[in-house]
């Protein structure tokens, strides 16, 4: 690796110049009691960055590295690490692993060799590496790194029971584009079931209860394991006589009924459910509401976007889709999400409510429907205003008050990305804009009214967020914080910081645009007399 293009580690936080025009990121961190400095190009691979920090820690590939930010939270070691200063340095630790005794599967080396050979032949023919081969190579490299660092498995818990038995016995497979949807689902199912008996570490269980949890570090099967943890740690299996196998079937079917679209996918479902889980713990709702209400909220969060097509209610109604016709233009998507949820629950092998009385089932079904329908943003002001009226005299024993709170909690969880650390939240905005732009493109093609905030010709990244944060998130989060003051530091302050971040970005963007316009006007006229 050339020093001019690769990452650089300097002992004692020294300075190393880079080549001209090189965009670099500077990371300060403590390791072995010393302040160190690392520099790497923004286009470096994750493997290069991890190798850089391994060199700094003076450890071998079989060691597990953990990086903590200045707050003491675990962060992902990747090119997305935020640049910092010596005053806000990270802390790097190496954890010895005995997995170096596990040999790399020979099939993996063989696959890598065949891919390199194929790449060489293709380059000879067409002069460049096709995207498909590049993607396959990236997946193989990613899988090798995962086996070497055991990053995910070490967090999930390397051992079952007393810690003397390695699990899982079969290496996890990298996802391949050749798999059909059904094959991919079955791959995830087998992986989930194999991992479901692993003991999730206390560190992960505690992170899972906070808004700083980083969803981008986890694969689908791992997220299913973490969802199982949420249901078990809230004691739902005992309280509602839920069999573990039935819970696993239910979670897997929920996963299968989320579509592979940019934003409203299974990962979004996991984030919303994880935020709901975190809010339950942070606000001590376990001692304020009954376990039935907690089950309603968590399961509503899990099911709130089932089978989302990637086009919102306005599109459904304007395009007169089957969903809009079926539900008479009244919250067509949210009604559909509810119907899909109870379609899954209608199967005995997936019915986590099957051991409840008919009255309990009716209460939970009614509560879930109310909570999921509340996620229709067309009803936002109605629900928020009702909560504002109740909030000063809120009574946790009043059924109506509890119902409004449950709706608010699901709504907050649904649109809570900006309450997360910026490195977690910002990629979600990119996903959302991609889905928005897909809709506006389709609206233009079909001659439908174009949704203004989704038009790629009119919307910028910062402008899409500033008004949403100012007029939707802040009023909603502020009202909830009045009832639960502890949430100010956990969700309200991060949202305020997000507003500052996107406001600064919007201001800078306008200044650049004005400068470009001034330069254009200052140019002498060309052509003609």
Q: Annotate 303-361 with three-state secondary structure.
A: HCCCCCCCCCHHHHHHCCCHHHHHCCCCCHHHHHHHHHHHHHHCCHHHCCCCCCCHHHH
Confidence class for position 306, pLDDT limits 50, 70, 90: very high
Report d(CA 488, CA 168) in Å as an integer. Answer: 41
> Of 222, 231, 333, 334, whose CA–CA distance to 273 is shortest?
231
Q: What is the pLDDT of residue 310?
A: 97
Q: Is the pLDDT of residue 166 over 50?
A: no
Instruction: List the catalytic residues.
Output: 264
Q: Is the pLDDT of residue 266 over 50?
A: yes
The most confident of 18-27, 160-169, 416-425, by mean pLDDT: 416-425
Strands (E) across 165-208 are located at: 165-166
Q: What is the pLDDT of residue 264?
A: 98
> Of 249, 259, 340, whose CA–CA distance to 303 is shortest?
340
Confidence class for position 294, pLDDT limits 50, 70, 90: very high
Report d(CA 83, CA 23) in Å as an integer. Answer: 12
Q: Which residue has the higher pLDDT, 366 or 173?
A: 366
Q: What is the pLDDT of residues 169-199, one digit of tens each?
A: 233 333 445 678 999 999 999 999 999 988 8
The angle at the Cα of 376, spanning 491 to 407, to the nearest 5 degrees, equals: 55
Q: What is the share, in percent, of the chain residues with pLDDT greater than 70?
A: 80
Confidence class for position 443, pLDDT limits 50, 70, 90: very high
State both tokens at 36.
């160190």
Give the mean pLDDT of 333-349.
Answer: 98
Confidence class for position 143, pLDDT limits 50, 70, 90: low
Q: Which residue has the higher pLDDT, 458 or 342?
A: 342
Report d(CA 166, CA 454) in Å as an integer. Answer: 49
Q: Is the pLDDT of residue 148 over 80?
A: no
Domain range list for the chain: 8-96, 106-150, 219-406, 423-518
CA 482 to chain centre: 27
Angstrom distances, CA of residue 280 to CA of 273, 293, 296, 472, 487: 11, 11, 12, 22, 11
Q: What is the pLDDT of residue 19?
A: 43
Report d(CA 229, CA 198) in Å as an integer. Answer: 11
Report d(CA 39, CA 315) in Å as an integer. Answer: 47
Report d(CA 528, CA 526) in Å as an integer. Answer: 7
CATH number of 219-406: 1.10.1300.10
Q: What is the pLDDT of residue 21?
A: 45
Mean per-residue pLDDT over the chain, rounded: 84
Lowest mean pLDDT segment, chosen from 122-136, 288-302, 363-377: 122-136
Q: What is the share, in percent, of the chain residues with pLDDT greater than 90?
A: 60
Question: Are both 8-96 and 219-406 of the same fold?
Answer: no
Q: Which residue has the higher pLDDT, 63 or 25?
A: 25
Q: What is the pLDDT of residue 17?
A: 39
Lowest mean pLDDT segment, chosen from 80-84, 148-152, 361-365, 409-413: 148-152
Q: Is the pLDDT of residue 485 over 50?
A: yes
Query: How do 159-160 and 165-166 pair as beta strands?
Result: antiparallel
Q: Is the pLDDT of residue 160 over 60?
A: no
Give the mean pLDDT of 358-381.
Answer: 98
Q: What is the pLDDT of residue 8?
A: 61
**Can you name the CATH fold of 8-96?**
Ubiquitin-like (UB roll) (3.10.20)
Q: What is the pLDDT of residues 65-83, one digit of tens each?
A: 778 887 777 677 878 788 8
> Of 231, 226, 333, whose CA–CA distance to 291 is shortest?
231
Q: What is the pLDDT of residue 174?
A: 38
């Amino acid at each position: 690796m050339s020093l001019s293009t690769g990452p650089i580690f300097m002992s004692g936080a020294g300075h190393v110049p880079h080549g001209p025009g090189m965009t670099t990121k500077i990371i300060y961190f403590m390791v072995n009691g010393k302040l160190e400095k690392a520099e790497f190009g923004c286009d470096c691979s994750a493997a290069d960055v991890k190798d850089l920090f391994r060199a700094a820690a003076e450890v071998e590939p079989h060691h597990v590295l953990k990086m903590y930010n200045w707050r003491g939270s675990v962060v992902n070691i990747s090119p997305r690490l935020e640049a910092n200063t010596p005053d806000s340095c990270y802390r790097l630790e190496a954890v010895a692993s005995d997995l170096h005794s596990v040999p790399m599967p020979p099939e993996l080396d063989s696959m890598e060799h065949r891919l390199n050979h194929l790449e060489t032949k293709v380059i000879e023919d067409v002069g460049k590496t096709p995207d498909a081969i590049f993607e396959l190579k990236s997946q193989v490299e990613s899988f090798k790194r995962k086996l070497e660092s055991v990053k995910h498995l070490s967090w999930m818990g390397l051992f079952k029971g007393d810690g003397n038995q390695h699990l899982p016995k079969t290496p996890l497979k990298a996802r391949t584009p050749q798999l059909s949807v059904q094959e991919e689902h079955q791959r995830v199912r087998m992986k989930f079931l194999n991992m479901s008996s692993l003991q999730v570490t206390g560190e992960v269980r505690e992170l899972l209860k906070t808004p700083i949890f980083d969803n981008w570090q986890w694969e689908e099967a791992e997220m299913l394991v973490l969802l199982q943890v949420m249901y078990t740690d809230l004691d739902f299996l005992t309280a509602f006589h839920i069999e573990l196998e039935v819970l696993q079937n239910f979670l897997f079917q929920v996963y299968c009924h989320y579509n592979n679209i940019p934003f409203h996918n299974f990962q979004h479902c996991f984030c919303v459910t994880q935020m709901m889980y975190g809010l339950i713990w942070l606000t001590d709702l376990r001692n304020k509401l009954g376990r039935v209400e907690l089950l309603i909220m968590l399961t509503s969060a899990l099911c709130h976007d089932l089978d989302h097509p990637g086009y919102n209610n306005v599109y459904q109604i304007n395009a007169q889709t089957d969903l809009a016709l079926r539900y008479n233009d009244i919250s067509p998507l949210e009604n559909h999400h509810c119907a899909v949820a109870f379609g899954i629950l209608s199967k005995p092998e997936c019915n986590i409510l099957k051991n409840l009385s008919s009255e309990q089932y009716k209460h939970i079904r009614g509560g879930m429907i109310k909570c999921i329908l509340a996620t229709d943003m067309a009803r936002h002001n109605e629900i928020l205003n009702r909560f504002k009226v109740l909030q000063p005299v809120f009574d946790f024993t009043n059924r109506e008050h509890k119902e409004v709170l449950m709706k608010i909690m699901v709504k907050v969880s649904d649109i809570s990305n900006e309450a997360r650390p910026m490195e977690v939240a910002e990629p979600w905005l990119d996903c959302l804009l991609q889905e928005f732009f897909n809709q506006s493109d389709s609206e233009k093609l079909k001659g439908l009214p174009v949704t203004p905030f989704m038009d790629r010709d009119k919307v910028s990244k910062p402008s899409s967020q500033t008004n949403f944060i100012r007029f939707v998130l802040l009023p909603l989060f502020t009202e909830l914080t009045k009832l639960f003051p502890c949430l100010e530091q956990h969700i309200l302050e991060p949202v305020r910081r997000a507003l500052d971040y996107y406001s600064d970005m919007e201001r800078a963007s306008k200044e650049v645009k004005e400068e470009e316009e001034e330069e254009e006007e200052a140019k002498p006229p060309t052509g003609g007399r």
